[in-house]
């Protein structure tokens, strides 16, 4: 994004802040802080329902209550307003009518009668089955269970929360506890900012694993659908301990008082990955601690969300930092927030022993191939995938390679790998991106706090590490259209991106997860195992033959669709010049497409280039243990 626009963004943010400060003065019932009591009754969690009761101090007159809309870490207006049901407002035992705002769906207006000093607000949070709760566990996201006076800063709203657990369930959270009984927990008063940043996990099957022995607590808290799923190998725990050591060595200082990985294991509770200052929500499949493929995937997730405590929570783009949950966020620097985190999310598990070097190479190869083969590169610069975060996260799967989706993660990874390799080469191995992380994210140990930055701040600190035209480097890769992905980190790091018939391990795992076959680098499509095309690249043989996402393969060369038939047909086509014949169903019509392809199956890998030093090896070797 041009610098002029960045300046405009900052000015808009300043104006918004002034408006909010003024609103505070008039709406915060005459006080700088407001203390709300919140009780969450989770005894019906197994049926996807939480009961919320709030006591909100008020003054007589018009009042607007607001439901969190822009959720930190989601970078989008993803507040689950449709899941707020059964709303009732009472004062002194009498019902108070409310009216939703005509335009802002997250705001509720009411009139506080004379003589009333507090409202009792009750509602249910009913989540979609498979999102936050299962029959045996739940993730409690506090933003789903609160309303607060509109216009107040989330730092100025104080909350004393309590939680009633289902009988026999246990819980974990970074929220400080004041006292607890068998089934009820009372928490210390915190700001609404800290509350929303401190989710809880609860479950019938629960386990804690200590990850450090020093003064600062690091803990893996696990809830699972079954007791068996909690079993974890000693080698995995050692990897988690190393992850803590490696991250602390990388950044040089921490910005939390304690850290908890809140791990949920369920095939029905939905996958999750959400960062917080002092914890992360890590939701994976029930067998993630025993299935080798899922365990590798978990290493990436834990490394990514943990790195966010520094990159995203502590250091955060100024435009992405909002005073409440209502002002819009700006996503144009997400290639730092998410892109650098995506890179560290693969480097840290490799340094920790949770990943092998082969895992790292296969993962980088899969990312590089996917980004390099996006047909949407011709129209869409990387920055636009970040600026449009409000719509890119939820954009449809069909035509994804032409749309480009959340590429600021994956191309961001390639960009930061290239920066790392560049620093290492130019400094003859004396410096690396670790030095940038030290300067940018480290400093002194502090409790949770936010230190904002701009594009210029990133370029300036890179320059402090190693003088270079970093503004030009970043501008070219972020703001300009480039038909090829930035592969300099791979090629200058002593490796080559190659394609051969051996399946890529990460591509194979993705295919297993979504029940698909990835022929993106050969025929040019990804197909579900029922024959439905998920995506087609227009510039490939399949795209040129007229195939499109949504079409369903009926037969190939006259044989009924199956994955084996497809594999066999692609293999046979290598030895002849006859196009492959695909009969497809397009809505209620059937049609035939001739796909002229004879190159066999192709999957991406990294291959060592012995003419250059192995800098990727340097990047992923253990640094702290
Ligand atoms: Zn992230």
Predicted confidence (pLDDT) per residue in 216-257, tens digit: 999 999 999 999 999 999 999 999 999 999 999 999 999 999
102 CA → ligand 1 middle, Å: 34
> In angstroms, what CA-CA distances link 491 with 382, 494, 498, 500, 501?
21, 6, 11, 18, 21
Q: Classify residue 47 by burial, with Cβ atoms within 10 Å: 0-12, 13-18, 19+.
A: exposed
Q: What would the mean pLDDT of 390-402 be, rounded to a whole number?
A: 93
Bridge partners for 525 per DSSP? 519, 536
Q: What is the pLDDT of residue 385?
A: 97
161 CA → ligand 1 middle, Å: 27
109 CA → ligand 1 middle, Å: 35
pLDDT exceeds 70 at position 529? yes
Q: What is the pLDDT of residue 548?
A: 98
Predicted confidence band at 25 (pLDDT cuts at 50, 70, 90)? very low
76 CA → ligand 1 middle, Å: 13
Q: What is the pLDDT of residue 17?
A: 41
Q: What is the pLDDT of residue 60?
A: 98
State the Rg of the chain over Cα.
26
257 CA → ligand 1 middle, Å: 21
Predicted confidence band at 452 (pLDDT cuts at 50, 70, 90)? very high
111 CA → ligand 1 middle, Å: 41
Bridge partners for 51 per DSSP? 41, 124
Angle between helices 292-307 and 339-352 (to 10 degrees): 120
Q: In terms of Cα–Cα distance, which of 203, 159, 202, 189 is closest to 52?
A: 159
Q: What would the mean pLDDT of 95-119 be, rounded to a whole number?
A: 98
pTM above 0.85, yes or no: yes
**Distance of alpha carbon 399 from the chain centroid:** 22
305 CA → ligand 1 middle, Å: 6
Distance CA 588, CA 572 (A): 30
Q: Classify residue 611 by burial, with Cβ atoms within 10 Å: 0-12, 13-18, 19+.
A: exposed
For residues 453 and 318, the answer to whether their CB atoms sit within 8 Å is: yes
pLDDT exceeds 50 at position 6? no
Predicted confidence band at 5 (pLDDT cuts at 50, 70, 90)? very low
Helix intervals (H) in 328-440: 334-337, 339-352, 357-372, 382-387, 389-392, 400-403, 407-426, 433-437
577 CA → ligand 1 middle, Å: 46
338 CA → ligand 1 middle, Å: 5
Q: Tokens for 6? A: 């960045």
Q: In terms of Cα–Cα distance, which of 401, 362, 348, 372 is closest to 622?
A: 348
Predicted confidence band at 11 (pLDDT cuts at 50, 70, 90)? very low
Q: In terms of Cα–Cα distance, which of 111, 101, 84, 277 is closest to 197?
A: 277
**CA angle 596-597-599, nearest 5°?**
160
Q: Classify residue 432 by burial, with Cβ atoms within 10 Å: 0-12, 13-18, 19+.
A: buried
Cβ-proximal residues to 260 (8 Å cutoff; 6+ apart), any chain: 172, 173, 174, 217, 218, 219, 220, 221, 278, 279, 280
138 CA → ligand 1 middle, Å: 21
**CA angle 78-82-85, nearest 5°?**
135
Which residue is associated with the tokens 């506090």?
142
Distance CA 203, CA 483 (A): 48
336 CA → ligand 1 middle, Å: 10
Q: How many CB atoms lie within 10 A of CB 455?
A: 24
409 CA → ligand 1 middle, Å: 8
Predicted confidence band at 602 (pLDDT cuts at 50, 70, 90)? very high
523 CA → ligand 1 middle, Å: 32
243 CA → ligand 1 middle, Å: 17
Bridge partners for 528 per DSSP? 516
Distance CA 439, CA 417 (A): 18
577-594 pLDDT per residue, tens = 999 999 999 999 999 999
For residues 191 and 323, the answer to whether their CB atoms sit within 8 Å is: no
Q: What would the mean pLDDT of 520-536 be, rounded to a whole number?
A: 98
Q: Which helix (H) or strand (E) holds 179?
A: strand 177-180
Q: What would the mean pLDDT of 66-87 be, rounded to a whole number?
A: 97
Q: What is the pLDDT of residue 625?
A: 67
337 CA → ligand 1 middle, Å: 7
Q: In terms of Cα–Cα distance, which of 278, 284, 257, 125 is closest to 199?
A: 278
Distance CA 53, CA 473 (A): 52
Q: Please write down the HEC assignment for all residues of 560-590.
A: ECCHHHHHHHHHHHHHCCCCEEEEEEECCEE
334-365 pLDDT per residue, tens = 999 999 999 999 999 999 999 999 999 999 99
Q: What would the mean pLDDT of 41-66 be, rounded to a whole number?
A: 97
Q: In terms of Cα–Cα distance, which of 549, 492, 480, 484 is closest to 520?
A: 549
Q: What is the pLDDT of residue 18?
A: 40
313 CA → ligand 1 middle, Å: 10
Q: Tokens for 247? A: 């991250």
292: helix, strand or coil: helix
Predicted confidence band at 24 (pLDDT cuts at 50, 70, 90)? very low
387 CA → ligand 1 middle, Å: 16
Q: Which helix (H) or strand (E) holds 173?
A: strand 170-173
469-486 pLDDT per residue, tens = 999 999 999 999 999 999
341 CA → ligand 1 middle, Å: 6
Q: What is the pLDDT of residue 618?
A: 98
Q: What would the mean pLDDT of 442-464 be, rounded to a whole number?
A: 98
Which residue is associated with the tokens 């939701």?
283
340 CA → ligand 1 middle, Å: 9
State the number of CA atoms in the 13 A half-sphere of 383 facing the CB: 17
612 CA → ligand 1 middle, Å: 32
Q: What would the mean pLDDT of 305-328 be, rounded to a whole number?
A: 97
- On average, the pLDDT of the chain sits at 94
pLDDT exceeds 90 at position 23? no
**Residues, the chain, total?**
625
Distance CA 195, CA 161 (A): 8
Predicted confidence band at 14 (pLDDT cuts at 50, 70, 90)? very low
6 CA → ligand 1 middle, Å: 22
Cβ-proximal residues to 157 (8 Å cutoff; 6+ apart), any chain: 33, 34, 36, 148, 149, 191, 192
307 CA → ligand 1 middle, Å: 9
312 CA → ligand 1 middle, Å: 8
48 CA → ligand 1 middle, Å: 26
Which residue is associated with the tokens 């790292």?
360
Distance CA 254, CA 243 (A): 14
365 CA → ligand 1 middle, Å: 20
Q: Which helix (H) or strand (E) holds 455?
A: helix 455-465
Q: In terms of Cα–Cα distance, which of 396, 316, 297 is closest to 354?
A: 297
Distance CA 280, CA 302 (A): 8
> In angstroms, what CA-CA distances link 36 with 57, 58, 173, 251, 568?
7, 10, 20, 36, 65
Q: What is the pLDDT of residue 420?
A: 98
Q: Which helix (H) or strand (E) holds 9?
A: helix 3-27
């Amino acid at each position: 994004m041009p610098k002029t626009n960045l300046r405009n963004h900052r000015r808009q943010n300043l104006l918004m802040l002034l408006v909010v400060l003024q609103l505070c003065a008039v709406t915060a019932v005459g006080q700088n802080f407001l203390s709300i009591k919140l009780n969450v009754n989770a005894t019906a969690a197994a049926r996807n329902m939480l009961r919320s009761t709030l006591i909100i101090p008020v003054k007589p007159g018009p009042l607007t209550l607001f439901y969190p809309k822009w959720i930190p870490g989601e970078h989008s207006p993803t507040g689950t307003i449709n899941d707020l049901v059964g709303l009732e407002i009472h004062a002194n035992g009498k019902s108070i009518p409310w009216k939703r705002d005509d335009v802002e769906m997250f705001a509720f207006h009411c009139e506080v009668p004379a003589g009333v000093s507090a409202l009792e607000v009750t509602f249910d949070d009913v989540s979609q089955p498979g999102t936050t709760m299962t029959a045996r566990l739940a993730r409690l996201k506090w933003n789903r269970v609160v309303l607060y006076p509109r216009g107040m800063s989330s730092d100025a709203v104080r909350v004393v929360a309590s939680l009633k657990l289902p009988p026999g369930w246990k819980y974990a959270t970074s929220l400080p506890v004041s006292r607890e009984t068998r089934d009820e927990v009372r928490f210390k008063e915190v700001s609404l900012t800290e509350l929303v940043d401190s989710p809880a996990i609860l479950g019938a099957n629960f386990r804690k694993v200590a990850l450090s022995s020093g003064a600062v607590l690091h803990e893996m808290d696990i809830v699972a659908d079954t007791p068996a799923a909690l079993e974890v190998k000693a080698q995995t725990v050692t990897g988690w301990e190393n992850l803590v050591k490696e991250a602390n060595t990388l950044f040089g200082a921490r910005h939390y008082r304690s850290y908890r990985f809140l791990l949920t294991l369920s095939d029905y509770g939905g996958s999750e990955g959400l960062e917080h200052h002092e914890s992360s929500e890590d939701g994976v499949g029930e067998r993630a601690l025993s299935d080798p493929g899922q365990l590798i995937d978990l290493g990436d997730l834990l490394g990514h969300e943990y790195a966010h405590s520094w990159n995203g929570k502590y250091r955060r783009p100024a435009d992405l930092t909002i005073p409440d949950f209502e002002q819009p966020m700006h996503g144009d620097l997400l290639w730092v927030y998410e892109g650098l985190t995506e890179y560290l999310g693969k480097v840290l598990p490799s340094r920790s022993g949770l990943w092998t070097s082969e895992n790292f190479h296969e993962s980088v190869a899969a990312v590089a191939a996917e980004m390099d083969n996006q047909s949407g590169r011709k129209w869409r610069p990387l920055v636009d995938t970040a600026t449009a975060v409000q719509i890119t996260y939820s954009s449809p799967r069909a035509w994804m390679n032409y749309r480009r989706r959340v590429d600021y993660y994956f191309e961001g990874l390639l960009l930061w790998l290239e920066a790392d390799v560049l620093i290492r080469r130019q400094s003859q191995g004396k410096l690396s991106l670790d030095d940038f992380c030290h300067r940018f994210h480290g400093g002194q140990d502090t409790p949770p706090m936010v230190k904002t930055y701009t594009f210029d701040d990133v370029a300036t600190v890179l320059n402090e590490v190693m003088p270079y035209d970093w503004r030009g480097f970043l501008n070219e890769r972020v703001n300009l259209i480039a038909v090829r992905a930035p592969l300099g980190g791979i090629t200058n790091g002593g490796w080559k991106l190659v394609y051969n018939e051996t399946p890529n391990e990460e591509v194979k795992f993705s295919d297993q997860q979504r029940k698909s076959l990835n022929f993106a680098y050969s025929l040019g499509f990804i197909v579900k195992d029922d024959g439905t095309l998920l995506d087609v690249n227009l510039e490939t043989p399949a795209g040129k033959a007229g195939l499109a996402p949504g079409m369903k393969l009926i037969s190939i060369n006259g044989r009924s669709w199956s994955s084996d038939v497809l594999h066999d047909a692609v293999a046979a086509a290598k030895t002849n010049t006859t196009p492959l014949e695909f009969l497809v169903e397009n809505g209620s019509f059937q049609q035939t497409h001739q796909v002229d392809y004879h190159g066999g199956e192709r999957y991406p890998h990294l291959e060592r280039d012995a003419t250059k030093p192995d800098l990727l090896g340097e990047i992923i070797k253990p640094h702290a243990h």
